[in-house]
Amino acid sequence: MLSDVGSALILAPHADDEVLGCAGLAARLRKRGASVHVHYLAVDGFHHYGLEHETTYAERVVEVEAVAALMDWSWEIAYGDQDLIERLDTLARRDLVDRFEAALDERRPDLLLLPSGADYDQDHVRVFETAFAAARPMPLAIGKWLTPHVLSYEAPKLGWAAAPLPRTAAHCDITGHLETKLAALRAYASQLRADPHIRSPEAVAALAALRGKEIGVAHAEAFEVLRTVM
């Protein structure tokens, strides 16, 4: 499938979700010349567990810029410094569907990557549900872009999801790209946590090793297939 992908659009509820879920796949795409664009939803200053101080919006943007430079992708922030962290579910569904439809029609990606809808985080669920609606199949003849490949990426924290986890039906071999993924994770300094935290570099590497073993390689990322056109 990667040979069919000339452009990818990643929807990230927050800045670091895209790295946790699909930075290895993105690195492979960029290496072969495909374009990658990250559409962040809520980026705010915030007080996180494990930090003594509240991060500022300016600090978060600096991190996003550093990650973009490392990953060599383009990006935009939909709701910057609007106090919408953990509140994306308060936005009107129709507004988010319209936003994602416009992004798909403008960018016409071959691959759309969504956060998992099985997440316990209401922000992730709202992004998944509305983006899934925006990507609904309609013929190109009526003017709406039909994205050929739609996948959802997983996060290390999904083991805490209350709903049954989706089957990870697609794997991407990221052997040789894990260090890039971990470097991008470390660039999100305000989000970084020490082992044994589920979002630590050690946890992310362990999940990549597990997914790799599932397909007989050193490291991989796993995805739920929502649509693929062959």
Q: Which CATH number is associated with domain 2-228?
A: 3.40.50.10320
Q: How far apart are alpha carbons 15 and 200 in whole angstroms?
A: 15
Mean pLDDT across the chain:
94
**Do the bridges between strand 220-228 and strand 149-153 make them parallel or antiparallel, or are there none, so unpaired?**
antiparallel
Rounded to two decimals, the pTM is 0.95
- Residue found under tokens 């664009």: 37
Q: How far apart are alpha carbons 58 and 162 in whole angstroms?
A: 34
CB 115 within 8 A of CB 100: no
What is the predicted pLDDT for the residue at 51? 64
What is the predicted pLDDT for the residue at 49? 62
What are 161-209's pLDDT values in tens digits? 877 777 778 999 999 999 999 999 999 999 888 889 888 999 999 999 9
Mean pLDDT of all residues in 120-126: 95
pLDDT at 30 > cutoff 90:
yes
What is the predicted pLDDT for the residue at 47? 60
What is the predicted pLDDT for the residue at 48? 65
Q: How far apart are alpha carbons 157 and 119 in whole angstroms?
A: 8
Tell me phi and psi for residue 104, to 5 degrees.
-65, -45
Instruction: Using pLDDT thresholds of 50, 70 and 90, give the confidence band for residue 140.
Output: confident
Burial classification of residue 177, based on how many CB atoms lie within 10 Å of its CB (0-12 exposed, 13-18 middle, 19 or more buried):
buried
Mean pLDDT of all residues in 5-17: 98
**Strand boundaries in 65-217, DSSP class E:** 74-80, 111-115, 149-153, 170-173
Instruction: Using pLDDT thresholds of 50, 70 and 90, give the confidence band for residue 220.
Output: very high
Structure tokens at 126: 């709202």
Percent of the chain with pLDDT over 90: 80
pLDDT at 142 > cutoff 90:
no
DSSP letter at 4 equals G
What are 74-109's pLDDT values in tens digits? 999 999 999 999 999 999 999 999 999 999 999 999
